[in-house]
Amino acid sequence: VESLKGKDLLALDQLSGDEVKGLVELGVVLKKLGTEGRYPKLLAGKILGMIFEKHSTRTRISFESGMIQLGGHAMYMNSRDLQIGRGESVYDTAHVLSGYLDAIMIRANKHTMVQELAEEASIPVINGLTDIYHPCQALADLLTVREVKGELKGRKIAYVGDGNNVAHSLIIAAAHTGMEIAVATPEGYEPSPDVLETAVAIAGKTGGQVSWTSDPVKAVSGADAVYTDTWTSMGQEEEAAARLEAFNGFMVDDALVKHAKDDFMFLHCLPAHRGEEVSASVIDGPNSYIFQQAENRLHAQKAVLASIL
């Protein structure tokens, strides 16, 4: 996707619909080549630095494998081990790392910190999850629906659970592709009004639809895909007990998915908590695509890396 060359990827509202769809299609192509054992060395000699302030399995490994498959190199940095973990400024870190690396991928507590890093760095910065967004996840999610259902436009995806980072990026991604996204959360755990407003504006141009309800059955009715995520995100551990109570009735279980289409897809960004946000019968059942979805992080991010670098 030519227009993304040299750009940051912090949030999907900064991309056009064509860019989002272009990344998904490039992901399809790179995945197909990969299954044939073909790994074009598009990023020979390029170095991606990966900074983590939080845990990760999928993001870390898929970015690292993706860079290797593209002929480049990826470097893992735990923020605690960097001087930034002892108070060195984001400003100085951004300027210094720009001299060593070709791009930075960062998983951070605060989105505003990632924005500052991107502003100060002279190299592209990719968001690997913040408190408000998880754009690379949403690209992999679209790729997965695209693979299983074909055309995205007009498909209905229901997101049930916490109106969190994963939900935010999914809502914007779906709006870009002309999908219908129906979100169900308990009151007090809604997606950010700004995100909903942005998504409604995007959907107005693409023919998509964006809605919120506190009724999971309403959201899931007739859905092609049903998505959930943990009720307690990283950094919210102290709220876990209160959240467990607040989300009572929001588990994606057999009774709920009966309202979706017969051939619905179940999606979850993982890590999952069986018996909380999803029942084992659904996540381990025949409609679950969670491992294809997790694998697609690799292919979608290779599309991102190849485009940006």
Q: Which of 102, 131, 162, 229 is catalytic?
A: 229
Tell me the per-residue interface mask from 126 to 165 with ligand CP, x by CB under 6 A, - otherwise.
---x-------x----------------------------
137 is catalytic: yes
102 is catalytic: no
Dihedral in degrees, nearest 10, Cα atoms 48, 132, 11, 27: 60
In angstroms, the Cα distances linking 307 to 5, 7, 10, 126 are 6, 9, 14, 12
60 is catalytic: no
- Radius of gyration for the chain, computed over Cα atoms and rounded to the nearest angstrom: 19
Q: In sequence order, which ranges of 7-89 are alpha helices (DSSP H)?
A: 17-35, 58-69
269 is catalytic: yes
**Of positions 3, 14, 57, 122, contacts ligand CP by CB under 6 A:** 57
| 146 appears as a binding residue in the annotation | no
Distance CA 179, CA 190 (A): 20
Residue 54: strand, helix, or coil: coil
Q: Tokens 């998509």 sit at which residue?
A: 208
Stretch that binds ligand CP, among 55-63, 117-125, 183-191, 214-222 (CB under 6 A): 55-63
Which of 178, 223, 170 is CA-nearest to residue 202? Answer: 178
CB of 31 to ligand CP, least distance (A): 18
Q: Which does 57 bind (CB under 5 to 8 A by kind): ligand CP, ligand NVA, none?
A: ligand CP
Phi, psi of 177 (to 5 degrees): -100, 5
CB of 279 to ligand NVA, least distance (A): 19
| 137 appears as a binding residue in the annotation | yes
Tell me the per-residue interface mask from 217 to 256 with ligand CP, x by CB under 6 A, - otherwise.
----------------------------------------
| 286 appears as a binding residue in the annotation | no
CB atoms within 10 A of CB 272: 18
111 is catalytic: no
Distance CA 59, CA 299 (A): 12
**207-236 residues near ligand NVA, rule: CB under 6 A:** 229-230, 233-234
Q: Is 293 in the site for ligand CP (CB under 6 A)?
A: no
Distance CA 22, CA 126 (A): 17
* Interface residues toward ligand NVA, by CB under 6 A: 129, 164-166, 229-230, 233-234, 269
- Residue ranges of the annotated binding site for L-ornithine are 165, 229, 233-234
> Looking at the annotation, which residues are catalytic?
107, 134, 137, 229, 269, 297
